[in-house]
Amino acid sequence: MSDGLPDGVERRPFDGRERLATRGSPVYGEPTDGDWRAWDASRSKLGAMLSRGLDTGLTGGEPVLYLGAAAGTTVSHVADFAGPTYAVEFAPRPTRDLLDAAAPRSNLFPLLKDAREPASYAHVVEPVDAIVQDVATRGQAEVALRNRRFLADDGRLLLAVKARSEDVVADPGDVFERVLEDLRSGYEVLATERLTPTHEDHLAVVATPRTE
């Protein structure tokens, strides 16, 4: 791991500027340079976390559970450098695009499931070293708490809290505090950072399971 990035993720020049990149088949029209493809941090909360230098704990090669995979923009990059990558998405339409992203990636496993109901995929998902969560729903802390069962004791939760999904009218700062308070019942929060301006009203959270 160099520059705080997992093995398999590099900063490389695209279109005259340095950007994150992974090796893999392109998914969303991103620029490519040989086997490398640019990771657009403006379309990826995890990409934004890595671009900002947050210590995510990701090293490369580890098993990952991704909650809220959508059409595969970010989770395809994760699968490029991680080990087995379980991609949970609730909506059928983006899942069809997710299947296309998974086709050239033998380690990417799309699951048409509800992240609020981890029992529905517990028979498929092995223990993981990281959970990446990017779900647009109320109760985002509860989703993280319910999926804690899959996370290794020294693993990392990488959560992008969407304030407007919790409460469309409340001040985002107040929303973030409430979510963090709920999250601390099962996790130790290691770091937080707002993702403005690339992702308005989003808070990046790095946490690890509480073991006491």
Q: Which residues are annotated as a binding site?
A: 73-74, 89-90, 114-115, 134-137
Q: Which residues are annotated as a binding site for S-adenosyl-L-methionine?
A: 73-74, 89-90, 114-115, 134-137
For residue 18, the surrounding DSSP H or E stretch is strand 17-23
How many Å apart are CA 142 and CA 157, to the nearest integer?
A: 13
Strands of the sheet containing 36-38, edge to edge, are 9-14, 17-23, 36-38, 32-33
Go through 133-149 and write b for each residue having 16 or more CB atoms within 10 A of its CB, e for each that does not.
bbbeeeebbbbbbbbbe
User: Which two structure tokens, joined as six digits, stand for 22?
Assistant: 């992974």
